[in-house]
Amino acid sequence: MRTAMSLIVTAAVVCAITAAIVFAAIWGVRAIGARMERASGGANAEADASENPPRGEEATETEAGAPPSEHAHFLDLYYCEEDRLERYLDYEAAHPELSPEEVVWRVDVDIDKPFYENAVELELECARSEQALVSKRFKLPDDFEPAELAQIDGDYRVTPATKEAYERLREGAKAAGHSIRAASAYRTIEYQKNLYARYLNEDPNNADNYSARPGFSEHHTGRAIDLVGPSGTLRGFVGTKEAEWVRENAWNYGFIVRYTPENEEITGYESEPWHITYIGREAAALMRENGIGSLEEYVAKYVLHLPPQ
Ligand SMILES: [Zn+2]
């Protein structure tokens, strides 16, 4: 994946197209490759189904170009990646409650890997794109800085696009009778280093559930904002009408609530109704329309791979 990302980003620079589009184009080709292989090996795949070959013979089957039948339910998906077939199977075995769709998109964004283990380091162009996935498995480059930052609510800084969207969001909230403001936004890696070290010292067993390690924090992208309401505190925002309004309306301004009670297993963070991330209105609307509950799922289905037209 690291190699693929490097290639993709190199292509992005050369072609001067956005990283997201090039991502999708190249990864899309890989997905199409998987579908073509399935089509050409269809007869063999059916024959395999009746014979049910033992797991030990898989490598030979794959090398011969005929996908083993036990992968057939993954290969139908446009975001299936051939080189992850074994990982899909392993993850499915460990999570029998998940559908093939849920298995494949999760593994596509490394949900099967332990937090912080061999995390993929994003290339600069990718890290600066609006839908960059920064998580416990996707890290920012060590020397990363947003291209540009602008001030909001006095002391806080975000990317210019985030600022514009945030100010509209705040006005929208105001028009609906809610007062919200930023309590945290862009953070330097140095700041995050100190913050995480403090939490780790105070709460060694739980700090990772709510604080990102330096280089893994969305706040460093300049697209994440922590909101507060009249209480002035993050915890005081939980369960308020302001939080409810943000949950229902943030998408209309291009934001998502990044850490929800429903996606804790995916993100590895406890729910944070105050933490919103700017991903652009089109992406946020698409997530809402399709019931996509995490940036991870969106990236697997709409950035790393493009849906068939
Ligand atoms: Zn936050």
Q: Compute the distance between CA of residue 164 and CA of residue 166 in angstroms, rounded to an integer.
A: 6
Structure tokens at 221: 């992208």
Do the Cβ atoms of 4 and 125 come closer than 8 Å? no
Per-chain residues with Cβ under 5 A from ion ligand 1 = 226, 275
- Distance (angstroms) between ligand 1 centre and the Cα of 219 equals 6
Residue 273 C-alpha to ligand 1 middle, in angstroms? 9
Residue 227 Cα, ligand 1 centroid: separation in angstroms? 8
pLDDT of amino acid 55: 41
d(CA 31, ligand 1 centre) in Å: 34
Give the residue from 49, 52, 51, 107 showing the smallest Cα distance to 77. 107
Q: Range with the lowest mean pLDDT among 169-178, 184-193, 277-286?
A: 184-193
Structural contact between residues 166 and 184, judged by C-beta atoms closer than 8 angstroms:
no
What residue ranges define each of the domains in the chain, with the CATH number in brackets?
2-108 (no CATH), 138-294 (3.30.1380.10)
For 195-217, write each residue's pLDDT tens digit: 999 999 999 999 999 999 999 99
How far is ligand 1, taken at its centre, from the CA of residue 122, in Å?
Answer: 20
pLDDT > 90: percent of the chain: 73
Decide if pLDDT at 45 tops 80: no
**228 pLDDT exceeds 90?**
yes
CA of 216 to the centre of ligand 1 (A): 12
Distance (Å) from CA 149 to ligand 1 centroid: 17
- Asked if the model's pLDDT at residue 20 lies above 80, the reply is no
CA distance 59 to 61: 5
How far away, in angstroms, is 125 Cα from ligand 1 center? 23
Q: Tokens in use for 90?
A: 């392993």
- Strand (E) or helix (H) holding 156: strand 156-158
Angstrom distance (rounded) from CA 77 to CA 66: 17
User: Could you tell me the distance, in angstroms and rounded to a whole number, from the CA of residue 106 to the centre of ligand 1?
Assistant: 23
Q: What is the pTM of this model?
A: 0.79
Read off φ and ψ for residue 183, nearest 5 degrees. -120, -10
**Helices and strands, number each (H, E), in the chain:** 15, 8
The residue count for the chain: 309
DSSP 120: E
- With residue 296 as reference, give the H or E element that holds it: helix 295-298
Distance 183 CA to ligand 1 centre (A): 9
pLDDT tens, residue by residue, 68-124: 578 888 999 999 999 999 999 999 999 999 999 999 999 999 999 999 999 999 999
Q: How far is the CA of 87 from the centre of ligand 1 (A)?
A: 31
**What amino acid is encoded at 285 in this protein?**
A
CA of 274 to the centre of ligand 1 (A): 7
Cα of 184 from ligand 1 centre, angstroms = 7
CA of 22 to the centre of ligand 1 (A): 29
Can you tell me the distance from the alpha carbon of 56 to that of 63, in angstroms, rounded to the nearest whole number?
13
Output the CA 226–ligand 1 centroid distance in Å: 5
State which H helix or E strand residue 51 sits in. helix 42-51
Cα-trace Rg, the chain: 21
Under 8 Å between Cβ of 58 and 87: no
- Signed CA dihedral, 3, 307, 302, 15: sign only: positive
